[in-house]
Every structure is written in C-alpha cells, then in structure tokens.
Amino acid sequence: MKKLPILLFIFLLLAGCRSSQPAYEADIFAMDTVMSLDVWADDESQTLTEELVQIIQELEAELSVTRANSAISAANAGQTVQLSGTVATLLDGTLALSGRTGGALDPTIYPVLQLWGFTTENKQVPAPDALAEALAHTGADRVHLDGTTLQLEDGCQLDFGAVAKGYAGQLCADHLLQAAPDCAAMLMLGGNAQTVGTKPDGSAWRVGITDPDDPAAVIAVLELTGTHSIVTSGGYQRYFEQDGEVYCHIIDPTTGYPADTGLTSVTIVCQNGLLADGLSTALYVMGPEAAVKFWRGSNDFEMVLIAQDRGVLVTEGLTDGFTCDAAYEVLTR
C-alpha cells in the first residue's frame, strides 16, 4: 500500500468517522490540546455533548498542575487535600497500573519532568546532581491515598499527563452510554480516540495511527466496531534536540532520562481509557521486548508497536481491517 498522505488522513477521519453527519459536534481546547467531540444521540445530542465538555473541564480543573488553585497543585505544594471520588478513582487506578508495570508508569515523575523543562519553553538536559535529587523523591509508594484524602511525602509531586486524556475519554463514554445507551460518538482528545457504540450507518470506526517519521501522515489504519479507547504514545509528540541528541517527553523512571528503547510509537486499544493511556506510556518506557512479554502475560488490551527502523508489530486481536504503509508482523499469544 502506498504512503497515505495527509489529505487522505483527513479524509479518513472525516469520511471514516463522520460518514453520517454527527447530530452534534463540538471542538474545544482542554488539557493543553484540541479535542473534537462528535455525538449521535438524536435530540439529546447537544445536551449530552455539553455535558461531556463539562466533565472534561471539571476533571482538568482538579488535575491541572499549572493552575495554582487545583487540588493536585495543592497536594504538590504539600497540603493534605480531599479529592473528588472521580479523581480518587483515577489516582487509585494509576497507582495500581504503576505497580502492574513495575513502575514504568510513574505518576510522581513530575519533578524530573520539570528539570528537563518539558513544562516550559526552556527544555534542556538537567545537571546530574539535580536529576539524582529529583529522582530520590519519586515513586508511587510516596503517595498516600486514604479513601479520597491525599497526602504526598515531602518533595513528591503528581502529574496525570500520562493518563488524564484517556481517563477523560472513559468518563465521557461511561456518561454517554448511561444516559443514552443507543448513542454513538467519536471523541478525539488530542491524540487519544474514544469510540462509543455503533456508527449510525453501521460501518466500522476508522482510526489512523500517525507516522512517527512524518507526523503529518498516517502509517496505519485500525478498523473497530463498538466502544474502544485507542491511545498512542510517541516520542515524536513532544521533544527537543541538544548537541545533536533528541530527547522526548516520556521519561524512564529508573534513570530520569527520556525513554530510548528503539520504539517510536506505542498504540494501545482496549475497553478502558485509563488502562489504554497508562499502558501506552508504560510500554513505550519498557521497550519492545518487555512490551511483547507484558502483552503475552495480559488479556485486557491489544497494541501496535512501531520501532525506529519502521518495523511494525500488531497483536492478533487487531488484524481484522488493519492496513499499514510499512511491512508488519502479527504477534500471537
């Protein structure tokens, strides 16, 4: 198959996801990214879409590390805080996933991320002693969550950048399916996609995977029916160069350095947005061999891995309707 150019990608998104016009659509800026919400729910479409916007904005207000008055900012400043049940559930699930991935997903990596300047315009390689000092305060065991009461140990700070958008997609899907079980939706939250229900024309949802070597194009397209979370983590999404080296925004918590395992992109497809988003980051950190082993030991997600040499691995559960610009290998259990 020839390389899919950007226009075709846009066509796929438009034609694939909107072959029947959504009853209501909204484009918003939240969580530092552009989100587009397309909802088909008859005359409830507009109301439901507005409710989704509110769900996303409320989550962002509580999680934000850049808004001084958010609950997480207060916790990061050393205060004991009361979380909403929604965010306590997110934190609880994130800590569990951190354990399941052997710490590859580490929601306490924020002080390290700040040293690299990923939260600012001044990205730079940090001094080794500053990095060692910041790393000394990381680790999920420094987070104390008792019901909805959160207290962080001194120097420990949380950041939900690896999971917030996936969880937001999950909350939106749950809300839609509860309010209007027969509805359909395609929610694009930055690079995260959340499909809900069956497209009114009965065709499959089509979701493109960005080409890591040419982020204006797609390298592969997934066809899915029903409700799924599809999340991609890639080094190409945010990075800087210094002295000829490229440094990406996904940090290996064991070294404090950007993950550099030979992968350029990890896409996770599953039924749970927090799991999809958390695993996309964690498996990127783990690298290809550990990621394949992890998938073989699990039964709750499928994935597409893309390596620096453009080698593509796709797990057996995704091969129906999968098209790819590069040669790919199918992983079996």
Q: Which residues bind ligand AMP (CB under 6 A)?
A: 105-107, 109, 113, 159, 161-162, 233, 237, 249-251, 253, 277, 280-281, 285
Whole-angstrom distance, CA of residue 236 vs CA of residue 218: 13
User: By C-beta, is 45 or 192 nearer to Mg ion?
Assistant: 192
Cβ–Cβ under 8 Å, residues 120 and 298: no
Closest residue to bound ligand AMP by CB:
161
Contact partner, 94, from ligand AMP, Mg ion, none, Cβ < 5-8 Å per class? none
Q: How far is the CB of 162 from Mg ion (least distance, A)?
A: 4
Contact partner, 105, from Mg ion, ligand AMP, none, Cβ < 5-8 Å per class? ligand AMP
Contact partner, 113, from Mg ion, ligand AMP, none, Cβ < 5-8 Å per class? ligand AMP
Q: How far is the CB of 34 from Mg ion (least distance, A)?
A: 17
Q: How far is the CB of 278 from Mg ion (least distance, A)?
A: 6
Contact partner, 208, from Mg ion, ligand AMP, none, Cβ < 5-8 Å per class? none
Cα Dmax for the chain: 59
Residue 116, classified by CB atoms within 10 Å of its CB into exposed (0-12), middle (13-18) or buried (19+), is buried
Contact partner, 250, from ligand AMP, Mg ion, none, Cβ < 5-8 Å per class? ligand AMP
User: By C-beta, is 107 or 288 nearer to ligand AMP?
Assistant: 107
Whole-angstrom distance, CA of residue 311 vs CA of residue 329: 8
Whole-angstrom distance, CA of residue 306 vs CA of residue 214: 13
- Contact residues: Mg ion, CB under 5 A: 162, 233, 277, 280-281
Say how many CA atoms lie within 13 Å of 257 toward its Cβ. 8
Tokens of 261: 């395992």
Phi, psi of 103 (to 5 degrees): 85, 0
